[in-house]
Amino acid sequence: MKDEFDIIVSEIVSALREVLTELFNNNEKFYYCTFLTTGEGLPPLISAWSEEALDRAVNLYKNADESREIKWSYADSPYYAFRYEKFSHIFSSRPSWNILNEKEWEKEFLFRLKAMETAVRLVDKEGIFSINHSRDDICVEVGTMPPDKLTTEITRRLNNPDSLIMKEYMTEAAE
């Protein structure tokens, strides 16, 4: 019998496969994909940026500074909460943050982040982040909104540190 961690990872993997396959098959070249939760550990969501989506968004801004600010912004992406309904049940079997003490919640929250990171690793091994682009051309992030140091640590573990996109991320967006 699978334990709770494996069950949740399996649910996340299933949703990620479906959602990311749909997202990445739109013939755009994605450079950033993030899988996020809140500090309360709410169900995770996907947000992503492609070069084409950024070009479309940049045309709405009057200056280069404004457009640079959205390059790594999960909230400004046209793909923010992409197919959220596929993830809305994730963590529903887990205890809520408001019924746990601080130490119990910290343990639970880290459990959730580990499940998210593990699921992303599994779909990454399947090649999901290589649809329509090279894997080294996309920064895959797992963490919290807003991003924090733990998000940066996880993102470092998930990506090739020598890739150009990771160097850009570390310079422009990392906490």
Which pLDDT score is estimated for 119?
A: 98
Mean pLDDT by 10 residues, the chain (175 residues): 88 98 95 94 96 88 71 94 96 89 94 97 97 94 91 96 95 85
**Residue whose structure tokens are 């950033």:** 32
Question: Residue 85 and residue 95: Cα distance in Å, rounded?
Answer: 20
Angle at 173 (CA atoms; ends 46, 72), nearest 5 degrees: 40
Which pLDDT score is estimated for 68?
A: 72
Which pLDDT score is estimated for 1?
A: 47
Which pLDDT score is estimated for 63?
A: 66
Amino acid at position 110, single letter: L
Question: Residue 165 and residue 31: Cα distance in Å, rounded?
Answer: 7
| Cβ neighbourhood burial of 89 (10 Å; 0-12, 13-18, 19+) | exposed
Q: What is the pTM of this model?
A: 0.93
